[in-house]
Amino acid sequence: MIDILDDGREVPHPCGEVMRHLISHEIHHTGQLSVWAREIGKEPVSANFVGRGLYNS
């Protein structure tokens, strides 16, 4: 991934760095959903991604 800054400079980011950010961001949003679910009296969202069928081999 390459960011293009306001001044036109290009800043490359390694794939591993981008993927780690993506995973971290997903964990953040899962936590948000759990908090909001609790606030309205619902069961919290599971943070477990195993068995959700997200990856079919």
What are 7-50's pLDDT values in tens digits? Answer: 999 999 999 999 999 989 988 998 999 999 999 999 988 878 77
Q: Which residue has the higher pLDDT, 57 or 16?
A: 16
Assess contact for 30 and 45: CB atoms under 8 A: yes
Assess contact for 11 and 2: CB atoms under 8 A: yes
Rounded-to-integer distance, Cα 53 and Cα 44, Å: 19
pLDDT, residue 57, reads 61
Which SS3 state, helix, strand or coil, does residue 2 take?
strand
Rounded-to-integer distance, Cα 27 and Cα 19, Å: 12
In the chain, which residue ranges form alpha helices assigned H by DSSP? 15-39
